[in-house]
A and B are shown apart, each in its own frame.
Chain A
Amino acid sequence: MNASLADVARQDAHPPGAPIALIAARNTARVALAAAIVVLALMVANAVASRREDPAKATVLIALQHDLTLHPGDEALRARVRSEDKRVRQDYLRHRDFAVRGAWLLLTLIVVFLIASDIVRRLRPEAPTPRPDAATRARQSAEATFRAVVGVGGVLAGTLATLTVLARHDSLAEYARAAQRAPKHAANAPGQPSGSGPSAGPSGALPMAAATGQGAGAAVAQPVGGTLAGPGTQLVPMPTEPAGTKAGAPPPADPGLLKKPPVAIRASLAPGWAENWPRFRGPEGTGIAPDRKPPTAWDGARGEGVLWKTAVPLPGKNSPIVWGKRVFLSGADASKREVYAFDLDTGALVWRTAVPIPAGVAVPKVQADTGYAPSTLATDGARVCAIFVTGDVACLDMNGKLLWTRNLGPIENPYGHATSLAIFGSGLIVQLDQGHGDDGKSALLALDLVSGKTVWQIKRDMGSSWSTPIIINAGGQEQIVTTANPRVVAYDPHNGSELWRAEVLGGEVAISPVFGSGYVLVANQGSNSAAIRPDGKGDVTKSAVAWTAGDGLPDIVSPLVFDDLMLLVATEGWLTCVDIKTGKPVWDGDIAETVRSSPVLAGGRIYLTAVNGTTFILDPGRSFKVLAKRPLGEDVNATPAYVGSRIVIRGEKHLYCIGAK
């Protein structure tokens, strides 16, 4: 256009002068440019003004609305709120429209200016003036150019050097170390905020016994960082309004303190762990208690061999746990929950502590088979912890004093959350499987037993499950082994990092894993039983699964390992014993009773309690042999606790202790 053939022709046709077209074009260009500058200035002003008019952050309006909630009857204030709201929104829309219209106008003006300028240039071409000297310019400036390029290099080096200085305080080495191993030093880290409430002490570093008193003052601890996993999980913390807080309880800790570094887990087991029955299925969590000497003969219906029998105030499907002379369990209905401690010698209810339902926490609908307290407690000998279907975790001291509570709920579980608690050293392991797996709602958490703060938490890409994690030591590595649909996943209990996973399960997984003969063994109805070598890394489905099999799959009762065999118990009473090395059935048998309680190996025998209360004592051999049947006279859904020479059985309404004085 600007240099087309027509232009050249016109160059000759129009000698220099000021034809009307040139004047018009020149004036058009000038006017368009001036108008564009004005519009631009107005747009800048508008943009500056609209930054103050964000309707989502209208400070005056928000303040007025706050006032109104304090004085709800103030009609004048109400009117002001409404008019202010209207003004804010109108202003916002006006600014927005102005910006759009202004942009188009500006664009049009610039286009007009460009076209007019182009016409001006074509109407008044500059005479071509060849400049022969230009040929030598390049050479003349060569030295200067050379220096300038070197200068650019200098500027660049200077910039990099400045960046180097900026990066002087580099903490990479520190957090790289933290990324590699458990954050043990986090507990001893300097710079914990000082001043502060009772929970601010270096709780993680305290010896366990001393920590009881220390933690007692901490009372209700708020969850670290508010909700557990953001909006997706709908894990809503206790409401911020302290309306439901128990009178006399200290106010929630200063929010700033909640950001404190979480404490690390100490791995050491509490002294006495192995002799007691500190969690679901005993110290190992696998029903193995070879050092116990439980009785073999009793008749609960007639009272023979029963040391004591005590009524439990509130119902619950959770299994009793025992530490020292105390038996702990919980009970709940839709409106209240309690934790109980009974004396192991006398059966006396030593204490009962109510765990209040925090305000704003809705109790979910649960199936009757689940109840409101299906999860078994866990204790480390200094504290006892419980979790309820609402997602409330409570920690009490051995005297029944509530140390802390946390709400990790609501938990989206079609039957009700039933996974029991586990303990690793100073950490309370909470498996919170919920939803349906692809929604990012499930998680595994470690809470500090002393403070209730989250030590670590990790997302699980699995849906609802009802199984309980076990903690094993395989290949010099402590592992938390979990089962859920569709996989078995092991985690490092120090920091929650995933160690391995194997995709072998399916259906609604309520069967906890067991560990024996070097294998993690799992089973679930609707999928498989499987043996997994727990020494892999990452997805070991193809590499570490020794076998999968489909015989005698259970759906409620967890397996039991003895010698090289694994006992699978179907709810209907079908027993299948498979060889751990091959997965092939060795024997099967039928006890013709419904079973929901998991088997235990104690005193060289297998104890399996049916729902009707009859305990079947089986021979742990390579054939099916029932040694004895011992009735209780009351239905049993929980797994009994085996300590010393006693068995503590939870019936539907009563707690029994079988054994001698």
Chain B
Amino acid sequence: MLAPLARIASVTLAFLAVAAATAQEQKKQPPPEFSSGYFPPTPTEPGPRADTFATIDVAILIVVLMLGTWFLLRTRSRTGVRMLVIFSALYFGFYRLGCVCSIGSIQNVALALGDPGYRLPFTVGAFFVIPLVFAMFVGRVFCGSACPLGAIQDLVTLRPIQTPPLVDHTLGLIPYLYLGVAVLFAWTGASFIICAYDPFIPFYRLGGHWGVIAFGAGLLLIGTRVGRPYCRYMCPYGVLLRWASVAAKWRVKITPGECLHCHLCADECPYGAILPPTPAEPADARAVARRSLTRALIITPALMGSLALLGYAAAPALSTMHSDVRLAERLWAEEQGRVRGTTEETDAYRQLAQPFEVAYAAAVKIRRRFDIGSALLGAWAGLVIGGKLAHLAIRRRREDYETDRGGCLSCARCYMSCPVEHERLGLITLE
């Protein structure tokens, strides 16, 4: 049925002279010569949205961070910070649909390091670096004011409870591990898992994969009672910000005067980021702490080594996150008759004019990279756990209630909980 039709069509149509054909591509149905003066139009190419906004986004980010710093450290205004949170949710979230974001930019940086063919776009690089630079001076203003993922959680924090330190410490390990895994997968070019499993992006886009929507909805439900669960227990960028803000020059100072040790600020903080003064400890407790620190420092290298070995051994499984590896292994299995039938992917590959060896070679290259990366991931995990154990053993002395340098999300909630602040503002008089 088709062949005659095709012939009818080809007979019906005029064809170009051979002279013209050398300039024109030879096709199955050469374009007809129109007598009515009709000229084929060109398809429209609407430009990408991102390009128009590239510079504006960076400028707005800087402005939001500067305003956030101003509200946080100068005017000590929760209202101002909250306005910024709403603005960030509206602009970076609903208007810019969550991309570009600093959290995801980690992966672009890792990919740019791993793949010389990928150039880090300027905007992405700026989004990666600027919040870190701010954190080095003024702490995690980005988390409190500019981050769209933080914003949506901040807005649903209705009646936060205090999470026990045990939960904070153990779940707080996840961001480090998540960071390691995300960097591994991005560096090897396998996948951008932070973006693929970003739980709140579907809300800003009003649509997405149902599994991710459910995950995000669950986190938001939890977030009504447990403040910012993603920021505290998942966010990989938070790890970098945490480190950067340890060096912060100007930080949130809870009380404007002398601390009354009333604990009201620690109660107000939904993120468990206000550390109480340390009680006097007996001498033997300090000896115990010293022993655990020594123990932690000794086992850390052993932990790193053994987890690195385990990671190396797990590399084949981890590498299947990369579609090239999956494709090559499937092709090989099909070639060897180890599996029955073919997949859409292998069929598509067979349609390309490429020898199988090209797919194998590509997979081998990625696999080598995974061998190194997975071992490093294992070592990293060991370091994280060992470091946490060491950190737990260190007793830092505090006389007053202080913000946790790395953990404070710069939301400005604690200011108004402090009676001294009320006194400063002339609202009350302390005896």
Contact = CB atoms under 8 A, between A and B. Distances in A.
B369 interface: no
B74 interface: no
A172 B312 CA distance: 14
Contacts, number: 259
B35 interface: no
A244 interface: yes
B56 interface: no
A439 B353 CA distance: 13
Contact of B351 (A145, A229, A496): A229
B10 A362 contact: yes
Given A153-B303, A179-B364, A191 B170 contact: no
A148 to B, nearest CB: 4
A192 interface: yes
B283 interface: no
A459 B352 contact: yes
B381 A362 contact: no
A360 B351 contact: no
B270 to A, nearest CB: 12
Contacts of A414: 18, 21-22, 24, 26
B228 to A, nearest CB: 15
B354 interface: yes
A28 to B, nearest CB: 14
B177 interface: yes
Contacts of A150: 385, 389
B94 to A, nearest CB: 9
B86 to A, nearest CB: 9
A100 interface: yes
Interface in B295-334: 303, 306-307, 310-311, 313-318, 328-329, 332-334
B229 to A, nearest CB: 17
B364 A176 contact: yes
A7 B382 CA distance: 48
Interface string A497-517: 100000000000000000000
Contact of B361 (A1, A145, A179): A179
A32 to B, nearest CB: 13
A256 B341 contact: yes
Contacts of A171: 329, 332-333, 336
B358 to A, nearest CB: 7
Interface in A124-141: 128-132, 134-139, 141
**B contact patch SS:** helix
Contacts of A99: 207
Contacts of B353: 228-229, 233, 443-445, 457-460
A412 B317 contact: no
Given A178-B360, A229-B353, A497-B357, A144 B166 contact: yes
Nearest to B413: A3
Nearest to B177: A156
Nearest to A362: B10
Contacts of A9: 427
Interface stretch (B110-118, B123-131, B132-140, B261-269): B261-269
From A360, A414, A456, residue with most partner B Cβ within 10 Å: A414
A612 interface: no
Interface stretch (A158-166, A296-304, A480-488): A158-166
A224 interface: yes
Given A135-B276, A157-B310, A164-B313, A121 B162 contact: no
B105 interface: no
Interface stretch (A182-190, A582-590, A645-653): A182-190
A324 interface: no
B97 to A, nearest CB: 13
B3 interface: yes
A632 B351 CA distance: 48
From A161, A244, A439, A457, residue with most partner B Cβ within 10 Å: A457
A11 to B, nearest CB: 10
Contacts of A330: none
Given A146-B392, A175-B360, A183-B356, A156 B417 contact: no
A524 interface: no
B425 interface: yes
Given A104-B206, A128-B264, A175 B329 contact: yes
A422 B389 CA distance: 69
Interface in A611-638: none
B201 interface: no
A4 interface: yes
Interface residues of A, number: 107
Contacts of B310: 157, 160-161, 164
Contacts of B307: 153, 156-157, 160
A259 B335 CA distance: 8
Contacts of A460: 353
Interface string A94-135: 000001100110010000001001100100000011111011
A166 B321 CA distance: 13
Contact of B417 (A128, A136, A259, A444): A128
A458 B354 contact: yes
Interface in B8-22: 10, 15, 18, 21-22
B350 A224 contact: yes
Contacts of B268: 3
Contacts of B6: 360, 362
A152 B358 contact: no
Interface in B357-372: 357-358, 360-361, 363-364, 367
Given A156-B177, A179-B357, A134 B266 contact: yes
B76 to A, nearest CB: 11
Contacts of B417: 3, 128
Contacts of B46: none
B2 interface: yes
A261 B333 CA distance: 10
B25 A459 contact: no
Contacts of B210: 47
Given A144-B166, A171-B329, A495 B15 contact: no
Given A156-B381, A261-B336, A121 B158 contact: yes
Contacts of B363: 172, 175, 179
B416 A167 contact: no
B164 interface: yes
B82 A1 contact: yes
B294 interface: no
A412 B315 contact: no
A27 interface: no
Interface string A404-426: 00000010111100000000000
A163 B318 contact: yes
Nearest to A174: B332
A171 B364 CA distance: 10
B357 A495 contact: yes
B99 interface: no
Given A160-B310, A163-B318, A4 B416 contact: yes
A554 to B, nearest CB: 19
B332 to A, nearest CB: 4
Nearest to A192: B337
Given A164-B310, A365-B15, A131 B267 contact: yes
A364 B26 contact: yes
Contacts of B314: 160-161, 163-164, 167
A79 interface: no
Contacts of A543: none
24 contacts: A1-B82, A4-B79, A8-B416, A8-B422, A99-B207, A107-B203, A114-B155, A121-B158, A134-B162, A149-B170, A160-B307, A167-B314, A172-B363, A172-B364, A176-B364, A178-B360, A229-B352, A259-B341, A360-B2, A410-B28, A414-B24, A415-B18, A457-B355, A458-B358
Given A160-B313, A164-B313, A457-B355, 11 more contacts: A4-B77, A99-B207, A121-B158, A134-B267, A160-B378, A167-B314, A171-B329, A174-B336, A414-B26, A457-B353, A457-B354
Task: Identify the 5 closest CB pairs spanning chains A and B, nearest first.
Answer: A191-B337, A225-B350, A167-B316, A179-B360, A163-B314
